[in-house]
Structure 1
Amino acid sequence: MRDRLLTTRRRRPLAEVGEAGRAIARHLLATEEVRRAATVAAYVSRGAEPGTGHLLAALRAAGTRVLLPVLLPDGDLDWGEYTGDECLVAAGRGLLEPSGRRLGVEAVATADVVLVPGLAVSRTGLRMGRGGGSYDRALARVPVGTFTCVLLHDDELGLDVPAEPHDRSVVAAASPAGITRLA
């Protein structure tokens, strides 16, 4: 399933990927949870993931503190503050990470909103990622009741996602069509 989803993503026209990111940013910025958030944990998109550039810029412009992940050698996620595109540095696996001070793996627990990448999500909020478990570990640190949302393309919502005992669910999915609240 993961291979099929990645293949479909790679075939998306670049213009579609960019528009998806802009639409998702508009929808997220209109949600009460994001408007009220003092701190948002997010990520820098890569490849054919829905783009996060507009969202990150808009959050910073609104005065929201933005935390971005830093991939550790063991696959866990540390966090750093996003202060603008000039703070981003190239890291392994084609990732862009913040270059500033590291805040620790527990920093994600301080976020009012946690936005995560994924390849698909079920109607119950089970998220399929790339298989490394990094975001499942991070989501395990997030307090219950925090708005957790996966960013996807429209055709990646409502799929039957296989589950492992360590998998963590999200409460919403953002796609170009809007915000979907999950059971």
Structure 2
Amino acid sequence: MEHIEAGKLALRDQLVTARGRLPLAVLADRAHAVSDRLMACDEVRRAATVAAYVSVGREPGTGVLLDALVAAGKRVILPLLLPDNDLDWAVYAGPESLAAARRGLLEPVGEPLGLEAVATADVVIVPGLAVDPTGLRLGRGGGSYDRALGRVPVGTFTCVVLNDAELLASVPAAPHDRRVTAVVTEERLVRFL
């Protein structure tokens, strides 16, 4: 298990460094491309509720997507990071409904819906640093999204948002790591079997 964690740490450092080199203009263009791809996706078009997140720093941007989802009449729920790194959820009502929270995150100021709210979403969009061809996702290491994905019913469209170069041949994985069913990048949307 120690070698798996060491492998994850090394890969995380490499990926975060690569993201840091991306120009802001490139990040903005990619955010629009990701939004367009997801909004054209059948699962998102049919969804009534979408669980998503607010991107931070050099993560692939989700702001354009969040506003497009709301404009399309979707109910959007976003995570509230709890002290134990688990995720509660609250409704997103536009950029003005966000406030600064712990760890530099932006979170909705609405009433918390509970840990199980993610299970009510028709689509779950999650952050990550990499994914392999089986849908194994490498996150930041807090376990927040692995716990949340564990509450999502089997068959729900779960999609990680990445840069195209972050689709890797393999990622180090531990038994608690959860798979996603798809990845979206600035170049493509790939579904995993």
Question: TM-score scaled by structure 2?
Answer: 0.94
Q: Which residue of 2 is the match for residue 59 of structure 1?
A: 69
1:95 to partner: Cα distance: 0.3
CA distance in 2, matches of 1:49, 1:22: 13
Segments of 5+ residues of structure 1 without an aligned counterpart are: none
Q: Which residue of 2 is the match for residue 68 of structure 1?
A: 78
1:35 matched to 2:45: yes
1:27 to partner: Cα distance: 0.3
Counterpart secondary structure, 1:28: helix
CA distance in 2, matches of 1:61, 1:29: 11
Aligned ranges 1:1-183 → 2 under 5 Å = 1-183=11-193
1:175 to partner: Cα distance: 0.1
Segments of 5+ residues of structure 2 without an aligned counterpart are: 1-10
Listed one character per residue, the Cα deviations across residues 68-104 of structure 1 (whole Å, up to 9, x for unaligned) are: 0000000000000001111100001110000010000
Counterpart secondary structure, 1:162: coil
Q: Is the 8 A contact 1:120 1:159 kept in 2?
A: no
CA distance in 2, matches of 1:178, 1:143: 25
What is the identity, as a one-letter code, of the residue corresponding to 2:61? G
What is the identity, as a one-letter code, of the residue corresponding to 1:78? D
CA distance in 2, matches of 1:101, 1:125: 32
Instruction: Give the CA RMSD over aligned residues.
Output: 0.6
Counterpart secondary structure, 2:134: coil
1:182 to partner: Cα distance: 1.5
Identity %: 65
Question: TM-score scaled by structure 1?
Answer: 0.99
CA distance in 2, matches of 1:138, 1:99: 20
1:158 to partner: Cα distance: 2.9
1:18 to partner: Cα distance: 1.0
Counterpart secondary structure, 1:173: strand
CA distance in 2, matches of 1:66, 1:60: 7
Runs (4+) of structure 1 moved beyond 3 Å? none
CA distance in 2, matches of 1:73, 1:159: 34
Q: Which residue of 1 is the match for residue 5 of structure 2?
A: none
